[in-house]
Structure 1
C-alpha cells in the first residue's frame, strides 16, 4: 500500500478527481440529450430457465455468418463462458483477464437443481457455500477462507450489504449468470471481502420473443411454479420487455419450518439507436420462512452427547407455533449506456434496494441446561429491521490507441448510502427443550426490546483503470481508487447504555497485473492488489467503531483455452493477508463482533469447465489453502486456523445428453463433493470431520418440453458444515429431490 502511494502521490489523486468531474459532465450531457444507453452486445436469445443456453434458438450470427461474441451479461452456450464484466467492468474475454473467476450459467444451475445461491456455487473453486448449513434467511459462504456473505455479495455490479439482521437475498430463478471473482476487487468496487465477491447478473429483455413456464415439487412438500417471458414490446424495434416470476411453498428439512416465496421481476429496455440504451430493472420478493440453521452444540451433532444422543436434523429447536421469519424486498434501478463517439462510452448504473425483515423465535445458542445433556437451553430472540440502500456508479470508457499501445481506459465515480433501522428483542432465559420428549407451544409475543439503533454508512469513490495492450499478446492492467467513507451508529436504546459511535475513513487501493496470451490458448498471469472495506458497527470488546478491513494479495496463475475448443482451465496460487477482519465474539455491549489482528491465506485453486463433446458438460474444482492468524491481540491465536473454515475441498459434476438416435434428448449425470475438516474452537483442539456427498440428475427433452429429476446428497449423509464455537454447529442439507416439467416457445 505504501509503495502505491509513493508511486502515484498527490498528482494521481488530482488527475482522478479531474477525470471524475469530466465524467459527471459527460454523463449529465448525455442524459440531457437522451436518457438512454447502449447495451453491450445485447443478446437476442430468450433464455428462460430450462430453455438451454440460448432459449432453444440458434445462436445469433453476424453478416459474415460468424457466431456473434457472447454477451457478458447474457446467456452462456453450455457451461463454458467466454466473457465477463465483473473483473474489469469492461467487456473482456476471460482468457485475457488476469484474475481468477468462475462463471455459472442457467444451464448449469438447472442441471444441478440449484434453487439458492448457496446451492448454485457448490461446484466452484475457492468458495465454501453453506457455512451455516441450511439457512432459509440468507446465503452464507467463505471465499479464500474469509466470510464474504456480508460485504461480498453483488447484484449487477452493485453491492448487497448484509449487516446484522438486515439482509437482502436474490432469487436464483431471476438470474442469467453468477460470477465468482476471487481475490481483492476494491479498485473497481471500493468494497467487498478481500477473498473475493459473488456478482449476480439479472435476466434482461431480449430482442426476439420467447416464453417459458415450469412447475415442480419435491422433498419436504415443496411445490413451485415459474414463468419467464420477453421480447419486443412494439413494432418499431425500440422497446423490449421481460417479465420473470416464481412462487414456491412447502416445508424444509426442519419439522414445522416452512419456506414460502413470491418473486416478480419486470424489466424494460428502450433502445432508440445502436449506440444508446436504457434498461429498467425491478423486482419484488416476499419470503415467509423460519430459523432453520438451528445453532446446535458440538456435543450432540459432531459427536454424541453425554447421554449418547445425536440431535435429529429435523428437530425444530425454535417452536413450530411461532418460529417465524418474514422479509419483503424491493429492487428498483436502471442501466444507462451511451456511445458518445467511436472512442468514448458513458454509463450510469443506479439502484435503490429496500428490505423489511421480521423474526420471532426461540434460539438454542446457550448449550445444554442439564449434566446429562438432554435439555437444550434456549432464549427468545426477535427483530424488526428495515434496510435502505441507494447506489450509483458513473463510468466513462475510452478505447483508443496512442500510437504505440492500445488502451481500454475506464474512469468512474460511485456513491453508496446505507441505512438500517434496527430493533432487537431478547428474553433470557427461555424454556428448555427436552430432546427426549420435545413439547412446543404456546406461541409467544415479542420479547422485551434489547436494542434500538440506526447504523448509517456512506461512501464515495473515484477510480481509474487502464488495460494496455503492450504487444498483441501481452496486456498490462493497472488501476487506482480513492475512497472516502463515513460510518456511524446512533443508539436510541440499549440495556448496555449509550454505545453510539462514528468514524471517517479514506484509503487508496490499487491493482497491477500482467497477462500473456500465447497463440495456442495458454495465458499465464501475475497480479498484485489491495483492498479496503469500511466496517459498520461497534467492536464488542473495545466499545468503539469497527476499523476498516484491509487486504493485500499476490496472485500467480495460468489459464488455458485453446482456440476452437470448448473447455476452460484456470489454476491460481495466491498469498493473501487480511488486516482487521471482523470475527464473532461473545455477546457483550450489545454487539457480537470484534477485530483481533491479521489472518493470512495462502493456497492454490483449480477450476475446469468443459463441453468436451456434443452432449457432455463437465465441471470440476479443487481448492487447498493454509489459513492462520499471523497477528492477534490474543497471543494464543497466532499460528492457529480460524474456526469454521475447511481448508480443502474438491468437486466434480458431469451431465450427458444423448444427441442423436432413438434416445435423443435423454440425459443423466451426477456429481461428487468433498469437504475437508475444519476447527470448532480457537485453539484448534476440536475438529469438524470431513465429508463426501453425491448428487444426481436425470432429464428428458423432447420438442419444446423438458422433464427432470435432480437429487442432492442422494445418500442422505448426516454431516455438520461448520461450528463457530462449542454451542453453535450447523447441520448440512439432507437429501433433497426435485422434479420438474417445463415448456418453452
Structure 2
C-alpha cells in the first residue's frame, strides 16, 4: 500500500467510490441530478429560539438549541448548516441540556464525556481550560467562539463560561481548510446563546463545595410587536474558593445580545460578552516524588496545599468580546454572511512556583517568584458567500470566503530567584520577596489572511463528496523592548486542503473517508529573535456514523492516522530551534442516545498510539510525549421518571477512565491511570428544578499529568454543587 498519507487517502477514497457506485449503479444524467435540500438548510440568526408556540420546539439549526442530548446538525465542520450524518469528519456536540444535567461549570467539565479529548490536563486550573485532542494540545489555537478563533498565547488566555453556551462542538482532525491556523488534532467551537423568538425567563441560584455560591439568569424574547427586534441577556456571578487553600475563585460574566430582522431574508445579530475573573493558587507545580508516589519521608503532599503565598498570589483577568453576525439570502441560491468580532483581555498573574526540593527529606520546596501582565487584542472577520444549486448532474453547496485575523500582544514577564522555601508539613505564609526583575518585554503582532473554497457535492441522493482548499498568508512581527534587538518579520504562505466522501444508507448507516492537511502559526521566536515558523500536519480518517431510523440516537466510530510536523521538541525548545514530528494513530467510538422516555446516555472510548517520529535527541525517538494519556473511556446515564406520582424525579451517574501517561521524555516515570465517578439527583416540577451534582464522588486522589519530574498536577477533588432554578 502507498506509504504517504495522501496516497493512502487517494487509494482509500477511490476504493470507497468504486464500491458505492457499484452498489448504486451509474444511472442516467437525469437520475443523478439531485438537490441538496436534505444536505443543507440554512437557519436564520433569530431562528434559534426555544420554541415556535403551542409547546413545540423549533426545528434544530446549527446555531440553535439541541433538543435533549442528541444533536443532528452542525456548522463547525463545514461552515454550512449540515446534518452531522452527512458530514465526513468526526464531530461531537454537547448541548445546553447536557451541560445542565451534568452540572458542568467549566468548559473542561462540559466536554469530559466526549471522545478524543482530554481536558484539565493540568488539573482544575482556575485560570483557563486545557485541552488535548487526539494527543495534541488545542489550548492555544483550538478555542473558537461562534466560528471565530479566540487566539491565545503566552499567558494571555481567554476563558468561556459554559452557561453562555447554547452548544459546544468538538471537531476532531484538521480544520485549517476553513479556519486557517488551527491545531492538527482538532478544535472546540462554542456557539453562544442567541436572542429567542419566544419569551424566555430563567433564574438559578446555587452553591456548594469550597464555599461556592452563584446566581445566574437567562432572559430573552421579542422586543417589539412587529417581530423585527429580539434580545437576550445572560449572566452568571460566582464567589467562592478553589480546591487549594487561600485561593479565591470568583467570576462575573454577562452577555447582552440582540437580533434585528427587517425581513425574512436578512438577519443581523450583535453578540457581546464581558467577564472578570479573580482567583489564585493556579498552576500548583508539585514534584513527582510526593504526588505520584511517596517522597523520601514516606508521604504525599496534601492536595489542598497552596505552594504559592497568599501575600502575593493573585490572578485577575478582564476580557471583553464585541461582534456581530450578518446574513442575507438573495434568493434560493445565494446567501452571504459576515461574522466579525473584536476581543480584548488583560491579565495580572503573580505567584511563587516550586522548582525543586530544598532538603534530602523532601519536605521543603524551593521556589521562585513569577509575575506577568500581558495585554492582548484580537480582531477577526470572516466573509462568506454560499450558493446552493444543481448543475443538471449533481447538487452543490458551494462556499467561498475570505477571512482576516490580527492579533496583538504586549507581553511582560518577570521573576525573582529564589524566594523563601515552603515546608509542606508546616507551611509558613506571608513571606515577602524582592521585586521581580523583567526578563521578557515583548510586543508581538500576527496577521493572517485566508482565501478558501469548499464544495459539498451530492453525487447521488446518498453519496456526498466534499472538497475544499485554502491559501493563507501570514505575517509575524516581534519587537524586543527589553534589549532593543532588531527582529526581522516572518512572512509565510501555506495551502491546505480537505477531501471527504460519505455514503448514507437508508437505514441510517453512513461510512466515510476523509483526508486533510493543516498548518498552525506558532507564537514565539528562536534564539536569533526570529519568529517561529508555522507547524504543519496531515490526517487520514476512516469511520462510520449510524443514526437509526426512528431512534433518537447517534453512534460513531473512527480510525485515524495523523502527524504533526515542525514541532519544538523538549530538547530544542530551550535553544529556540524548531524541529521534530509526532504521529498519532488511534480509534474512537461514541454513543449518544435517548433510549426511552426520560432516559439519556452518553458513552465514549478513545485509544491511540502517540510517538515522536522525528527529533534531534535519539533518546526521545519512538517515545510518547510527556503528560498525554493514550486511553480514555467514559459513560454517563441520566433518567427522569416521566409518569406517576414521582414524575419529574430523576438521577444520573457517570464514570471516567483515564489511562497512564509519562512524566519524563525517556518514559521512565509513569503517572498512574485513574477512574472517577460522578452523580446527580434532580427534581422538576412546573418550571422549578432542584438538583445536586457531585464530581469525583469517591474523592479519588489522582494526578492529572506531569510535564516534568517537578511539574505534576493534582486532579479534581470531590465537588458538590446544589442548585435551584425557575423557568417561565
Quickly name the TM-score band, shorter chain normalised: over 0.9
Aligned partners of 1:39 and 1:276 also within 8 Å: no
Distance, in Å, in 1 between the alignment partners of 2:53 and 2:609 is: 44
Where does residue 56 of structure 2 map in the other structure? Answer: 59
Quote how far apart the aligned CAs of 1:293 are.
Answer: 2.7
Q: Name which of 130, 135, 140 aligns with 1:145.
A: 135
The alpha carbon displacement at 1:42 in A equals: 3.8
Choose from 694, 716, 719 the match for 1:733: 716
Give the aligned partner of residue 166 of structure 2: 176
- TM-score (normalised: structure 2): 0.93
Closer, same or farther in 2 for the Cα pair 1:691/1:55, shift >3 Å? farther
Residue of structure 2 in register with 1:576 after alignment? 562
Q: Among 511, 516, 521, which residue is 1:534 paired with?
A: 521
Aligned to 1:88: 78
Aligned to 2:263: 273
**Structure 2 residue 467 is matched with structure 1 residue 478:** yes
Q: How does 1:665-676 map to 2 (within 5 A)?
A: 665-676=648-659
After superposition, the Cα gap between the structure-2 partners of 1:41 and 1:240, relative to the gap in structure 1 and judged at 3 Å, is closer
Deviation of the 1:443 alpha carbon: 5.0
- Give the Cα separation in 1 of the matches to 2:574 and 2:118: 29
Which of 429, 443, 462 is residue 418 of structure 2 equivalent to?
Answer: 429
Deviation at 1:534, TM superposition (A): 1.3
Residues 138 and 167 in structure 1, CA contact (< 8 A), matched pair in contact too: yes
Aligned partners of 1:247 and 1:443: how far apart in 2? 32
Match of 1:416 among 405, 426, 440: 405
| Aligned ranges 1:157-236 → 2 under 5 Å | 157-236=147-226
Given that 1:55 and 1:210 are in contact with CA atoms closer than 8 Å, whether structure 2 keeps it comes out as no
CA distance in 1, matches of 2:533, 2:164: 36
- Secondary structure class of the residue paired with 2:393: coil
- Per-residue CA shift, 1:623-644, capped at 9, x if unaligned? 0000001111112211111111
Matched with 1:369 is 358
Selected match of 1:390 from 369, 374, 379: 379
Separation (CA, whole Å) in 2 of partners of 1:583 and 1:117: 28
- Whether contact under 8 Å (2:290, 2:301) holds in the other structure is yes
Deviation at 1:563, TM superposition (A): 2.2
> How do 1:645-664 and structure 2 match up within 5 A?
645-664=628-647
Task: Write out aligned runs for 1:543-692 (5 A).
Answer: 544-582=530-568, 588=574, 595-692=578-675
Residues 270 and 629 (structure 1 numbering): CA distance in 2 closer, same or farther, change over 3 Å? same
SS of residue paired to 1:75: coil
Q: Which runs of 4+ in 1 moved over 6 A?
A: 1-4, 54-57
Q: Distance in 2 between matches of 1:574 and 1:626?
A: 10
Q: Deviations over 1:602-626 (max 9, x none)?
A: 0000010001110000000000000
* Cα distance, 1:440–1:624 mapped onto 2, change above 3 Å: same
Q: Which runs of 5+ in 1 are unaligned?
A: 8-37, 47-53, 61-67
Structure 1 residue 134 displacement after superposition: 1.4
CA distance in 1, matches of 2:668, 2:400: 50
TM-superposed CA distance for 1:595, in Å, is 3.4
Deviations 1:439-484 (A, max 9, x none): 0014557512221101110000000000000000000000000000
The residue aligned with 1:45 is 49
Matches of 2:172 and 2:435 in 1, distance apart?
Answer: 41
* Unpaired segments ≥5 residues, structure 2: 11-41
CA contact (8 A) 2:52 2:198 kept: no
Q: CA deviation at 1:2?
A: 11
Q: 2:509 aligns to what?
A: 522
State how far apart, in whole Å, the 2-side matches of 1:544 and 1:322 are: 34
Normalising by structure 1, we get a TM-score of 0.91
| Structure-2 residue corresponding to 1:13 | none
Q: Residue 707 of structure 1 aligns with which residue?
A: 690
Shifted more, 441-450 versus 263-272: the winner is 441-450
> Does 2:699 match 1:716?
yes
Maintained 8 Å contact 2:44/2:267: no
Alignment check: 8 A CA contact 2:416 2:434 kept? no
1:504 is displaced (CA, Å) by 1.0
Taking only aligned residues, the RMSD between alpha carbons, in angstroms, comes to 1.9
CA shift in 2, pair 1:594/1:721, >3 Å: farther
1:426–1:443 CA distance, 2 compared to 1 (3 A): same
Q: Does structure 2 retain, via aligned residues, the 8 Å contact 1:322–1:444?
A: no
Q: Distance in 2 between matches of 1:721 and 1:44?
A: 38
Instruction: Give the conservation status (yes or no) of the 8 Å contact 2:379–2:407.
Output: yes
Task: Determine the C-alpha separation between the residues in 2 that align with 1:294 and 1:57.
Answer: 53
Contact in 2 for aligned 1:216/1:224 (Cα 8 Å):
yes
Number of residues of Structure 1 aligned to a counterpart in Structure 2: 692
Q: Does 1:491 align with 2:487?
A: no
Per-residue deviation, residues 218-257 of structure 1 (Å, max 9, x unmatched): 1000000000000001111100000001100011110000
Cα displacement (A) at 1:292 = 2.5
CA-to-aligned-CA distance 1:350-373 (integer Å, 9 cap, x gap): 000000100111111x12111211
